Amino acid sequence: MEVNLLDKICVLDAKTVTKKEFEQTLGMSREEYLKEMRRFVEEQQRVKAAAESK
Amino acid sequence: MTNEKHEQMRQNDVPLEKILDAMELSGKWVVKRLKGNPTSGPFSELVLTEKAAVFFPKVAYMKWASGAWKWKQGLDLPTQFIRIIRSEMSHRLRDWRERNESEVTPMNNELVDRELEQALADELEMEEEMKDLGYANILEYVSAYPNLVVYVNLVRETNSYRTISKKLRIKMAEVKKLEAEVIKIVRTNRAK
């Protein structure tokens, strides 16, 4: 197992971004953002599954 | 089982909610790294066709799911996504610079600030330099704690918990405590 000090600090930096800051930057709520990401991932997974079933 | 097969299995086993958490956190990292939402330059909405914090987590997901990115042992999914995004950004930055070299003015040159360049340096064949900057920064914060200075220098030398534990003659759990202490000090200093 490896110590990834620099990576861990990167993730902690990301965690300091507040919900308000994130939403203001995106111009959408957290819920809308996650909905968009969910739609994207599900679509990609459907495409992948269809390609694999051929 | 080969590493490749193991990795594939791991990808298929990850629940959607965990993927979404990783996308959200890596999106936040993009916001932090770019200090908001750039209105021009290689990471602007105009160039990416979407806001950077929406665009890059999607790229990270695609590359991760396609198996195009080798999993680094010990990393969780958000960290893996951030690494992919960092790499993607550095390539886009390099391409953008090559295309715009003749048109770079002091004004648009400022769009990609020094801090971003340093963060992206690792993918531009300057990994060691980037690490040096990162560790120099950490060492500065922990300089008042000799035991932590020794620990950070050891981490730089070897990333193995086991090796550090052996060299310092302490238990693995104590190595993790040192790690937590360093992270806490860095976080406290950055928040100032």
Q: What is the pLDDT of residues B70-99, one digit of tens each?
A: 777 667 899 889 888 988 888 888 788 777
pLDDT at B61 over 90: yes
User: Within 13 Å of residue A16, how many CA atoms lie on the same side as its CB?
Assistant: 16
Beta-carbon separation of B74 and A14 below 8 A: no
pLDDT at B66 over 50: yes
Find the domain containing A31 and state its range: 3-52
ipTM score of complex = 0.88
B109–chain A nearest CA distance, Å:
22
User: Could you give the 3-state DSSP secondary structure of residue B123?
Assistant: helix
B188–chain A nearest CA distance, Å:
11
Distance CA B151, CA B42 (A): 38
Mean pLDDT on B168-192? 86
Number of H helices, E strands in chain A: 3, 0
pLDDT at B30 over 70: yes
Q: What is the pTM of this model?
A: 0.71
Q: What is the pLDDT of residues A7-44, one digit of tens each?
A: 777 777 788 888 888 999 889 999 999 999 999 999 99
Beta-carbon separation of B28 and A5 below 8 A: no
What was the pLDDT predicted at A17?
86
Distances (CA, A) of A25 to B23, B33, B143: 16, 12, 36
Beta-carbon separation of B16 and A37 below 8 A: no
Domain tally, chain A: 1
Q: Are the C-beta atoms of residues B185 and B141 closer than 8 Å to each other?
A: yes
pLDDT at B130 over 60: no
